[in-house]
A and B are shown apart, each in its own frame.
Chain A
């Protein structure tokens, strides 16, 4: 995908390179770049600088483009009053665990379904994929009831990170992505390893996983950002102030906190995902389209 400028699209290359077409192309490109920057980056600029303004300045009309008297104190207040260090640590901890659990269990399951193909494998895959059709909101109540009293073992998982980690393993999209990738690894490699006497675990570890780094990266990033963005589930299963995630923590404080401080906290909460995105944007974007378009 991406920068193959040779292919023909809606409007032909030749038309865009000549006379009127060329002028039109560059004008349109300039307009789109400016409009997109304003629409998508503008609000973020407003957010970062707005959180630097004082209460009076934010309420004035017309609003000022630059903070007249920048108050970094808002960010400091947000950090201290909301105990953001703790909230960010919690979120990071849940996200890291979620990545590990999903990589281990989902990759093992996808490997089994793709290469070992045990009996009833296709039925199990079908039942997993069927969960993609069930909207999360429909399951929220019975899932909550399950988590506060696990069947058979009767353990309450509230405020335990497992309440976030384990339900995320049940992610059919991950298994589908991984299985499809494993399917494309040639069968000869598997049989060669078997001939050399390698166990299935050894084959997975030394042959399949090293070849699958790109897709494992995609799954890891998707898992990380999913935890960072999630709101309702962590709000329900992490009720104590000590175990909250950052989004839930900010929401809980929003009522009694000055609005600029809430925005400053929101900016801080958004920084990690934005950094992850800027570093891994190619992987994220390819992971997004991998599931939907034949590659």
Chain B
């Protein structure tokens, strides 16, 4: 982390620390109150923003999910919003699609960056170039990148980028976003291309912290490349692997812009509708902010469930 080193931290190691200001003034009550007030004055801007735009909405969301606002009048309605949102014909398809996307993105978007990082870590040349390439799509505005996929890559005719490659390889072409079976895999491909750069860089940083002696010892014991990956690389990066898996699940569960742009929201036969898209639909098109809030709470509970399982699994390993 050469860039984020503090200048002057390791200067003059032998010199003793200057004495702290002492005396009655420092311990007096007035001074203490004043110090605390100064401290809180520096905090006030950030705390106010957290309070208004994070902490309060969190509570408000839960409260809203048990209320209904019609023509400016708000009443308590119990679980009505929940039963209405669950009765929405798109509710189960949305969960099915979101979970399918999450699982597929874990297989593709999780394993691929790890092996790409292992590969890049072995190279002594062109390192900078390869890293820039992998990270470049992360910097594109997602809307720009998705229009590229929508119009050029996933063109269902044979003029599309993917279809012309498939045709050149004599493989069957696909209708991509027009075919319900291919909708989710196509979204996973686009999403992985756009996002894998960050995971690759985080893994690379983790790989560089593995002590070389471990590989040395494994090799002396006769471990081949694959066994070295399984017995040295993976255990040594276990914490980062587990953390990124959790972060990725949280991110993919919020799948929104991919269906919105690639599939115009719902896609063919509800094949693209995601939970986040359903929240957006209810909240901002069907004039049902309360139902949307209820779905938000359901999503929070599901993710909390995942986190609990995750905490259980990681705690067991230690």
Whether the Cβ atoms of A9 and B45 lie closer than 8 Å is: no
B46, CB-defined interface residue at 8 Å: yes
* Contact between A121 and B39, CB atoms less than 8 A apart: yes
> Is B57 within 8 A of A285, CB to CB?
no
Q: When the two chains form their complex, are residues A138 and B296 in contact, meaning their CB atoms are under 8 A apart? A: yes
B201 touches A289 (CB 8 A): yes
> By the criterion CB–CB under 8 Å, are B3 and A109 in contact?
no
Report the minimum CB–CB distance from A74 to chain B (whole Å). 12
CA distance A15 to B296 in the complex (A): 54
Q: How many residues of A contact B (CB 8 A)?
A: 125
Closest beta carbon of chain B to A66's beta carbon, Å: 15
- Give the docked Cα–Cα distance between A60 and B157 (Å): 9
Q: Does B297 contact A (CB under 8 A)?
A: yes
Task: Check A29–B144 contact: CB distance below 8 A.
Answer: no
Stretch at the interface among B89-97, B176-184, B253-261: B253-261
- Neighbouring A residues of B254 by C-beta, 8 Å: 135-137
Tell me how many residues of B have a C-beta within 8 Å of chain A.
120
Point out the residues of chain B lying under 8 angstroms from A59, CB to CB: 157, 159
Closest to B291 in A: A141
Q: CA–CA, A128 to B228, complex, Å? A: 40
State whether A270 and B42 are in contact (beta carbons under 8 Å apart), knowing that A36-B133, A289-B201 are contacts in the complex: no
Interchain nearest-CB distance for A39 vs B (Å)? 8
A211 → chain B closest CB, angstroms: 6
Query: What sequence of 0s and 1s flags, for each residue 15-50 of chain B, a beta carbon within 8 Å of any chain A beta carbon?
Result: 001101100000000000001111110110111011
The reply to whether B276 and A118 form a contact with Cβ atoms under 8 Å apart is no
Closest to A143 in B: B57
By the criterion CB–CB under 8 Å, are A139 and B54 in contact? Answer: yes
Q: Name B's interface SS.
A: helix
A198 within 8 A of B: no
Q: Which residues of chain A from 144 to 203 have any CB-CB distance to chain B below 8 Å in the complex? A: 144-147, 150-151, 166-167, 169-170, 172, 175, 181, 184-189, 191-192, 194-195, 200
Residue of B nearest to A169 (CB): B49
- C-beta contact mask, B131-169 vs A, less than 8 Å → 1, else 0? 111111101111111011101110001110100100110
| Interface pair B49/A229, CB less than 8 Å apart | no
Give which listed residue, B4, B40, B130, B275, contacts A33 with CB less than 8 A: B130
Are A124 and B47 in contact (CB-based, < 8 A)?
yes
- Neighbouring B residues of A109 by C-beta, 8 Å: 42-43, 45-47
Q: Does chain B have a CB within 8 A of A267?
A: yes
Question: Once the chains are docked, how many angstroms separate the CA of A1 from the CA of B209?
Answer: 9
With CB as the reference atom, state the residue of chain B lying closest to A165.
Answer: B49
User: When the two chains form their complex, are residues B144 and A194 in contact, meaning their CB atoms are under 8 A apart?
Assistant: no
Q: For the complex, is A19 an interface residue (Cβ under 8 Å from B)?
A: no
When the two chains form the complex, which single residue of B8, B21, B125, B296 contacts A139, counting CB atoms closer than 8 Å?
B296
Check B152–A263 contact: CB distance below 8 A.
yes
Q: Is the interface of A mostly helix, strand, loop or mixed?
A: helix
Check B215–A283 contact: CB distance below 8 A. Answer: no
10 nearest A-B residue pairs (beta carbon): A118-B39, A8-B212, A295-B1, A109-B46, A112-B42, A105-B45, A142-B57, A266-B144, A116-B39, A142-B61
A-contacting residues of B (Cβ < 8 Å)?
Answer: 1-9, 17-18, 20-21, 35-40, 42-43, 45-47, 49-50, 52-58, 60-61, 64, 118-127, 129-137, 139-145, 147-149, 151-153, 157-159, 161, 164, 167-168, 193, 198, 201-202, 204-210, 212-213, 215-216, 219, 225, 228-229, 232-233, 240, 243, 250, 253-254, 256-257, 260-261, 275-276, 279-280, 283-284, 289, 292-293, 296-297, 299-300, 303, 307
A residues in contact (CB < 8 Å) with B: 1-5, 7-12, 16, 29, 32-33, 36-37, 39-41, 43-44, 46-47, 50, 58-63, 104-106, 108-109, 111-113, 116-119, 121, 124, 127-128, 131, 133-147, 150-151, 166-167, 169-170, 172, 175, 181, 184-189, 191-192, 194-195, 200, 204, 211, 214-215, 218, 225, 228-229, 231-232, 236, 246-248, 250-251, 254, 259, 262-263, 266-267, 269-270, 273-274, 276-278, 281-286, 288-290, 292-295
